[in-house]
Amino acid sequence: MTTAPQTCTPQRAESCPEILTATYRRLTGMCGALRVRVVPAGEAAGRPGSPWTDGERLAAEPAWADVFIAAEAARVTDLYGHEARRDVAATRWLHQHLWTVCLLMSGPWYLERRVARIRPRDVRLDPTTGETAVVPGSFSCLAGDPAAHLTGTRVVVDDEALRAELRAAVADYARPLLAALGSRLRRGPRALWGMVADDLVSGIWHLGVLLGDEQSGVAAASALLPTAVAPFPGGAAFRDLTTAGGERQPTRTRLGCCLHYKIRSEETCITCPRTCDAERLRRLQD
């Protein structure tokens, strides 16, 4: 079964946070859409006086959720000249946030066969600017990893156990956030966890594309979510489309929806349930 495309190399770093810091910088360097700063545990995330909070407070204090939703609605107005409904703004913000944090956990797994454990309090957020910062912590790895001896690592037996660690890490992070924001999105548990699954899969797929090996990203995401694995309601479910020239292109249909069409009715994501295969092929061939 296909796993991450690269194996670990010996590390000079002496701690898990140092290793993850290097990996996160590699990720942000190769992925322009991943706008995250890496900060040590004792360092303030933002500028003095800025309204930074962390994921734990966001999940625990309802007033913070309202602040983030209002800030996202204001960004939608600035970008599109459209006044977004409250549930649309909440969905847009949560989708972007989950994509970012999922990639911070799946990126080390895909690149180095390590699963970063990120707690909600390790993620710092500024609702005004939309900035995100992360405090590196510990990770899970295989016994043959040169960092397996470091304090804080969790050693697992094989690649499937490592995939289970990634699914669990993502679910543990998302669970309190979905509980706090779910009612504001006006969606049930299946749709919310479908969004988490979509953002987890799409980040891995995106890394494969960035590294010039899309099929590897597709295979890795498919091995991670071959089918519904609780709490995720469905698998990666990739399939191929064939272009007029006979080229096969991978696609999938999202389990959920980011509701972008509620902002721009003429625009849908290429993996949106509303986007038919003919339209997907047209875009792929443009």
Tens of pLDDT along 114-143? Answer: 999 999 999 999 988 888 999 999 999 999
DSSP class of 260: G
- DSSP character string of 61-116: -HHHHHHHHHHHHHHHHHHHS----HHHHHHHHHHHHHHHHHHHHHHHHHHHS-EE
- Three-state secondary-structure class, residue 261: helix
pTM of the model: 0.92
The count of other CB atoms within 10 Å of the CB of residue 79 is 9
Residue 83 CA to residue 69 CA, distance in Å, equals 12
Say which residues have a Cβ less than 8 Å from residue 26's Cβ, sequence separation at least 6.
Answer: 111
Residue 184 CA to residue 73 CA, distance in Å, equals 13
Distance of CA 83 to the CA centre of its chain: 26
Residue 200 CA to residue 236 CA, distance in Å, equals 9
Tens of pLDDT along 150-178? Answer: 999 999 999 999 999 999 999 999 999 99
Predicted local distance difference test score (pLDDT) of residue 151:
92
The count of other CB atoms within 10 Å of the CB of residue 154 is 15
Predicted local distance difference test score (pLDDT) of residue 268:
84
Phi, psi values for residue 5, rounded to 5°: -75, -10
| CA pseudo-torsion sign 35, 120, 24, 136 | positive
Predicted local distance difference test score (pLDDT) of residue 45:
60
Spell out, as residue ranges, where the chain has pLDDT lower than 50.
1-4, 9-11
Predicted local distance difference test score (pLDDT) of residue 137:
94
Domain boundaries, the chain: 16-224
